[in-house]
Amino acid sequence: MSQIIEPALSLQEENRRQLGAFLRARRESLDPQRLGLPRSGRRRTPGLRREEVAMLADVGVTWYTWLEQGRDVNPSSVVMTAVAKALQCSPTEARHLFVLAGLPPGEAPQAACCEGISEGTRRLLDTLMPKPASIQKPNFDIVAWNDSFGHLMGVDFNDIPPEDRNCIYLFLTHPAWRARLGKRDDVLAIFVSYFRAAMAEHRGDPAWEAKLARFFAVSPEFEALWHQRNDVRGVENQLKLFSHPQLGDFQLQQMYWYSAPRNGSRLLVYLPVDDAGEKALTWLEEQAK
């Protein structure tokens, strides 16, 4: 008797199958009572019923059933956001849903952003003294720093409005910050490639689009490079050249550590690699006293 070989699923079909399985698993893991749903007869399966998910997401029961069955229903980002919310998905789970549905993952619901810095993070930055250190968001906003970092870059962050505390914006607008960076002719193009790469998953995000528009508004050179070139570059550990009015030129090793989840904030620390760097850190330590 000949064996029947089923045709292999395409990537799209396999994603739809996995999407359906994931939706069902999430639905069955939820407690109806915790979601405030009324008791209505004996439940034959754990978790929510399909019609309850459809009600919470404000979609049709038949449509949601087809989605869970892995049919080709082409959900929109708005609808998938509603489904993710109805199923109490975490940001990571919502992103997973979007990827499986063939939607831009950057449009998935994100975790609520907490701008505050924990006491532990503050102690970490202070402990790293006199090594310059800061916490930066993926869009290059600086959300925390130690004294050495401010002295290294020639700025007092307390005098800078929070919306201006951004590495790229300060390079474009702050003379002292710009003057502290060596090889300044190359830095602008590098920043353009950094931001283009970082923004790839945030197209259409109002906050990111506003940030880019702000860079354009203060720097025609930034805007020209953005439209002329398509280079992308990820931030990386490297030797960085500084030019200091008291210390002259010196290099420090730039080191990054990343927080979870993916694309979370990153800790930037500068380390000495030679006598000139050690001398620079000694000077920074004296300034912080």
223 contacts: CB under 8 Å, gap ≥ 6:
215, 216
**Residue 231 or 108, more confident:** 231
What is the per-residue pLDDT across 20-79, written as a single tens digit (0 to 9) for each? 988 998 888 887 767 666 665 566 667 888 998 999 889 999 999 999 998 988 889 899
- The C-alpha atoms of residue 37 and residue 152 are separated, in whole angstroms, by 57
Highest-confidence range of 74-78, 102-106, 151-155, 284-288, by mean pLDDT? Answer: 151-155
Say if residue 113's pLDDT is above 50: no
For the chain, the maximum distance between any two Cα atoms, rounded to a whole number of angstroms, is 87
- The C-alpha atoms of residue 105 and residue 265 are separated, in whole angstroms, by 18
C-beta of residue 164 within 8 angstroms of C-beta of residue 173: yes
C-beta of residue 171 within 8 angstroms of C-beta of residue 188: yes
- Whether the model pTM is above 0.75: no
Of residues 78, 106, 110, the one with CA closest to residue 92: 110
